[in-house]
Amino acid sequence: MAKLEVLSREVVVPANGRPGSSIWFSNLDLAARRGYTPTVYFFQHSGDHSDFFSTDSMKESLARALCAFYPLAGRLGLDDGGRVQVDCTGEGVLFVTARSKHYSLEELMEEFVPCEEMRELLVPPTPAPNPPCALLFVQVTRLRCGGVVLGQAMHHSVADARSAALFFNTWASISRGDGMPLVPPPCFDHTLLAARPVHARKVVYDHLEYKPDKEEPAVEDDSAATSYASAIIRITGAQVDALKAKCGGGSSTFRSVVALAWQCVCRARSLPPSAETRLYSMVDMRARLDPPLPPGYFGNAVIRTSVSAMAGEVMWSPVFHVARLFQAATSHGDQYTRSLVDYLEGVGTTNLPRSGISRTHLRAISWMGMSFSDADFGWGTPVFMGPALMYYSGFLYVMNTPPGKDDGALALVLSLEPETMPEFTKLFAQELAKM
C-alpha cells in the first residue's frame, strides 16, 4: 500500500458556540446503515494559487459551516429511553492533513477504484459507529503534483447522500468567499417523518426490503465487508441518449442505465433462468411527500424499494421491458412512505437487515443529483467525486461526470464478485457498442 505522511490532526469546532440540545431521529434515520459513508473529491492544481487548499482557510470555512450544521459537531448519543439521537455537544470534527509522495493526481485517477486500500489512504480512520462516536471526519491529502484529495466519512444515521452534499456544498461556498448559499437553511426537524398516532397508523404495504432475506449475508459493519472487485465504467452522453431512446421516452436516465446493468450482471453471473433476482434501490422522498419536506431537510429521507423477476426474464427481455420492471420500484409516494414509517414503529429498527445481499441480487443508487460545480472550494471544481469504499458485492452507484466536453456522460461505480467482474465489463461494453 502507498505510504501516507500525516502532517496534522486537529479538531475543528463551530466558529460560534451553540447551546447544547439534541436532535431526535426518525425511523428512517434509525433504519439507515449504522456506519460511516466515506467519499472522496479529487482536485487538480492549476498553478495559479499559492494558497491551494490552505489548511487555515479550510479549517476556518469548516468552522463557519459547522455553525449552520451544528449537529455534525456533536456526538451520537442516547435519550433516556435508549433511543439513538444526536447530542449537539459542539465537540467538533476531526480535520487531518496528509501528504502522499507516491501519487500524482493523474496516477491516482488511473489506479483509483473504491476499495479498502483507497479508503485507508484518503479518508481518516473512524471508530465503531455507536454512541458516543463523532459524526464527521475530514482529510486533506496533498499529492506529489500539487493536487489535493478531500476525503470524508460522515455517519449515515445523521445524513443521506443529498444531506451530505448540502453540507459540503455549503462549506465550499463559504470557502470560496460566497458565504452561505442563497437556499433555505438546513432543517433538523425529523418529527416531520414521525410515525402517526397509534390509532391512525396504517401499514398497507409489505415492506419486504426491511425484512431479513434468508440468503442475505450477515454483514453489519464496514470491517466485515465481503470480498469484491470494484470498477468505474464511463458511458458517453451519446450512449446514454441512445439507451434512453431504446427504453422509451418515459424512462429516466437512471432507470435506463440500471436496467442494462441488471441484465448484464445476471448474464455475467450465469444465473439459472428460473432463479429469482431482485433489484434494490433507494428513493429520495423529499419532494414526494404531501406536503413535501423543506428543501433543506437534513437527515435520512430515502426509502429502500425493490422489484423482483425471474433471471431469464431480465436477461433475455428487451431492455425497455427491464426498465419498466424497475419503474415499479421507483414510483412510490407519500402513502408508501407513511406506511413504512408506521411499520418500522411497530417492529422496531434494532434487527433490520442493513447490509449485504444475495448473490443473485443487485442494489442500485443514484448520485446523479450531486453537482460538481457546487463543490468548488475556491480553487476549481473537482475532476472526480465518488465513494471511497464499496460495502459488499452487488452494489452500483450511477453518477454524473465532471462538466466538460461530454456533459451528458455518466460513471457507473460497481462492485461484483471478483470472478464476475471481467465478464460483466465485457458484456456491458458489447451492449453499449450496439447503441
**pLDDT at position 355, please?**
66
**Which residues are bridge partners to 387 per DSSP?**
39
Q: CATH 3.30.559.10: does it fit domain 199-433?
A: yes
Question: Residue 46's pLDDT is what?
Answer: 76
- Low-confidence residues of the chain, pLDDT below 70? 1-2, 18-19, 49, 181-183, 213-226, 354-355, 372
Q: How far apart are CA 97 and CA 5, in angstroms?
A: 9
Domain 5-192 and domain 199-433, same fold? Reply is: yes
pTM (global) more than 0.85: yes
Distance (Å, whole) CA 12 – CA 152: 14
Domain ranges (residues) in the chain: 5-192, 199-433
Single-letter amino acid code for the residue at 366: S
Q: What was the pLDDT predicted at 371?
A: 74
What does the alpha-carbon distance between residue 435 and residue 426 come to, in Å, rounded to a whole number?
15
Q: Give the angle subtended at the CA of 339 by the CAs of 22 and 72, to the nearest 5°.
A: 25
- Return the pLDDT at 213: 66
| Residue among 309, 414, 322 at smallest CA distance from 365 | 414
Could you tell me which of 368, 366, 301 has the C-alpha nearest to residue 338? 301
Give the side-chain half-sphere CA count within 13 A for 377.
27
Question: Hey, how many other C-beta atoms are within 10 angstroms of the C-beta on 218?
Answer: 9
For the record, the C-alpha cell of 48 comes out as 495559479
What pLDDT shows up at residue 175? 93
CB atoms within 10 A of CB 55: 15
Residue count of the chain, please give it: 435
pLDDT tens digits along 131-161: 999 999 999 999 998 999 999 999 999 999 9
Closest CA to 281 of 232, 327, 250: 327
End-to-end Cα distance, the chain: 39
Three state DSSP letters for 177-241: CCCCCCCCCCECCHHHHCCCCHHHCCCCCCCHHHCCCCCCCCCCCHHHCCCCEEEEEEECHHHHH
Q: DSSP 3-state assignment of 318?
A: coil
Q: Are 339 and 203 in contact (CB under 8 A)?
A: yes
> Would you identify the CATH topology of the domain 5-192?
Chloramphenicol Acetyltransferase (3.30.559)
Residues with Cβ within 8 Å of 39's Cβ and at least 6 positions away in sequence, in order, are: 123, 151, 152, 153, 164, 385, 386, 387, 388
What confidence score (pLDDT) does residue 391 get? 87
Q: Which of 29, 87, 155, 156 is catalytic?
A: 156
334 is catalytic: no
CA-nearest of 178, 96, 201, 173 to 140 is 96
Cβ–Cβ under 8 Å, residues 135 and 158: yes
Q: Is the peptide bond before 131 cis (omega within 30 degrees of 0)?
A: no
pLDDT at 357: 83
45 is catalytic: no
Exposure class string for 325-353: b at 16+ Cβ within 10 A, else e: bbbebbebeeebbbbbbbbbbeeebeebb
Residues 29, 222, 342, 376: which is the catalytic one?
376
